[in-house]
């Protein structure tokens, strides 16, 4: 029983710490920059975007933390549909406006997360979609990533083992690339 309680405590603390989501988003994006296979690159970039969105939801919805203490994610945090996550974020903070062009870029990334970065075909034929990867999509996708990363960086915290919140540690700031984290990040 004690091991299970420890496990749930660790699970809840990790999931309820925006810092952990931010750090994972950066690790995924850095990994994407190291991969030469375009589909895998976009899958990792999409997963990075997913972590940013979920980290922001942790900040904006305290009910999420209660769910974690029960050992599960709340419904809106499950899955990989980036447009749905973005809608949840925007619904909780209208200052995080997400354009239709950015939503379309999120739809493309969702396909890479769910199947295109891992399998030759989706589970169901109807899940196939026309993926459009124009330079305009890249621009919107990267601009959104940078805005979300900055928001999470500005509003996030580290959740300590005693449940208290602390400001981001120095390594949080030093992990950000030069130029507020947006200039030095490779554009996929």
Mean pLDDT, to the nearest integer, of 79-98? Answer: 89
Contact 12, 161 (CB under 8 A): no
46 assigned to some structural domain = yes
183 assigned to some structural domain = no
User: What is the total count of domains within the chain?
Assistant: 1
Mean pLDDT, to the nearest integer, of 17-29? Answer: 91
Domain extent, residue 96, equals: 2-175
187 assigned to some structural domain = no
Q: List b or e across 103-137, with b for residues whose CB sees 16 or more CB atoms inside 10 angstroms.
A: bebbbbbbbbbbbbbeeeeeeeeeeeeeeeeeeeb
24 assigned to some structural domain = yes
15 assigned to some structural domain = yes
Q: How far is it, in rounded angstroms, from Cα 50 to Cα 176?
A: 18
First vs last C-alpha separation in the chain: 46
Mean pLDDT, to the nearest integer, of 44-69? Answer: 82
104 assigned to some structural domain = yes
Contact 71, 11 (CB under 8 A): yes
Contact 136, 39 (CB under 8 A): no
180 assigned to some structural domain = no
Q: How confident is the model at residue 109 (pLDDT cuts 50, 70, 90)?
A: very high
The residues, ordered by sequence, that sit 6+ positions from 100 with a Cβ below 8 Å of its Cβ are: none
55 assigned to some structural domain = yes
Closest to 156 measured CA to CA, from 3, 22, 9, 36: 22
Q: How confident is the model at residue 181 (pLDDT cuts 50, 70, 90)?
A: very low
Helix or strand (DSSP H, E) at 165? strand 165-166
Can you give the pTM of this predicted structure? 0.80
């Amino acid at each position: 029983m004690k091991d299970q309680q420890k496990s749930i405590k660790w699970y809840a603390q990790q999931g309820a710490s925006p810092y952990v989501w931010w750090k994972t988003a950066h690790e995924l994006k850095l990994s994407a920059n190291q991969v030469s296979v375009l589909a895998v690159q976009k899958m990792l970039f999409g997963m990075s975007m997913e972590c940013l969105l979920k980290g922001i939801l942790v900040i904006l919805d305290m009910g999420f933390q209660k769910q974690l203490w029960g050992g599960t994610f709340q419904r809106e945090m499950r899955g990989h549909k980036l447009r749905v996550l973005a809608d949840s974020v925007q619904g909780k903070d209208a200052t995080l406006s997400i354009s239709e062009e950015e939503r379309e870029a999120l739809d493309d990334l969702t396909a890479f997360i769910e199947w295109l970065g891992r399998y030759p075909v989706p589970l169901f034929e109807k899940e196939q979609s026309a993926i459009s990867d124009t330079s305009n999509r890249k621009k919107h996708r990267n601009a959104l990533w940078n805005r979300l990363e900055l928001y999470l960086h500005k509003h996030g915290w580290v959740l300590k083992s005693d449940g208290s919140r602390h400001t981001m540690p120095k390594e949080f700031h030093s992990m950000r690339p030069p130029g507020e984290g947006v200039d030095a990040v490779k554009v996929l």
